[in-house]
Amino acid sequence: MELLAGKVAIITGSGRGIGAAAARLFAQHGASVIVSDLDPTPAQAVAAAITSSGGTASVVAGDVTERDFPQRLVEAALDQYGTIDIIVNNAGYTWDGVLHTMSDEQWEAMLMVHNTAPFRIIRAAAPYLRSTAKQEIQASGAATARKIINVSSTSGVYGNAGQANYATAKAGVVGLTKTLAKEWGRFNIQTNALCYGFINTRLTTDKAGGETIEREGKQIKLGVPETLIAGLTMLHPMGRPGTPEEAAGPMVFLASALSNYVNGEILEVTGGFSV
Ligand SMILES: NC(=O)c1ccc[n+]([C@@H]2O[C@H](COP(=O)([O-])OP(=O)(O)OC[C@H]3O[C@@H](n4cnc5c(N)ncnc54)[C@H](O)[C@@H]3O)[C@@H](O)[C@H]2O)c1
């Protein structure tokens, strides 16, 4: 069964990890996907894999924190597919450190990528989404359901030592989500957030592995200490992190008609870790 047949989805940060798994799963469910990422090479690989297995995808590479990028992203989706049904604000990373040594740059980078960028992307899509819904309501009495999905974290809901910047930003995602749910519910646009706990991506692998993200000429180390991974695994009710594919499943639910009366929710996808 295709849950997203005929839908057009923008997924930021879909060159890797959870976003890439979501792009593949959305396409399997019939959506045309805009694969958007800071890094063009992995984004192109994700889109190529989708198209070679019969799906529809195209790449809009760029940095979500660049001021003109949100408009470019929205225009590209409308130019290529003529509509936007689903926006997934997934792009993000961590820049950990204890609060007393955290720089302003480190703090502001997290608010910029997790709060300001999603806000600007949603705002850039607002004229299209709102006017289309109004026209549909005028023509037939009801607007097509459309979806905004924001990605939060257990750090944003429960806090996490070493992540004052990330936790604050991911808590901001919750506020953004609930507010938009209240503002746009009447346009039949459901806004929800996914709150992940421990999903196996480069953000949660051993820091000693040397994964980095380049930001403003700096190589920022990603990952967590091996001892933390061992501790989390031991305490986890399922005894393991989730896979990106398992993280993408509930995203399809929130993107599909199955969630047409789910609005303003923060769905925790933690394998029971947050219970
Ligand atoms: N992995 C987890 O356990 C976990 C837990 C909670 C929340 N999250 C959130 O899930 C989302 C996806 O993370 P992931 O674990 O798949 O990490 P990932 O590093 O595997 O994928 C994130 C992608 O986002 C892209 N990206 C980062 N900054 C960007 C920018 N400024 N512009 C455009 N693209 C950018 C990266 O290039 C990367 O391809 C993030 O928002 C993250 O904070 C992850």
pLDDT of residue 1: 87
Please tell me if the CB atom of residue 153 comes closer than 6 angstroms to any atom of ligand 1: yes
Ordered by where they begin, the domains of the chain are: 8-200+243-269 (3.40.50.720)
Q: Mean pLDDT of residues grouped by 10 in the chain (275 residues)?
A: 97 99 98 98 98 98 98 98 98 98 98 99 98 98 98 98 98 99 98 98 95 95 95 96 98 98 98 94
State which ligand 1 atom lies nearest to the alpha carbon of 117: 31
Model pTM score: 0.98
Alpha carbons within 13 A on the beta-carbon side of 109? 19
Please tell me if the CB atom of residue 204 comes closer than 6 angstroms to any atom of ligand 1: yes
Separation of 93 CA from ligand 1 center, angstroms? 5
What's the Cα-to-Cα distance from 14 to each of 39, 74, 232, 244, rounded to whole Å? 10, 16, 26, 11
Please tell me if the CB atom of residue 18 comes closer than 6 angstroms to any atom of ligand 1: yes
Atom 25, ligand 1: residue with shortest CA distance: 13
Give the torsion through C-alpha atoms of 78, 42, 171, 75, to 10 deg. -10
pLDDT of residue 9: 99
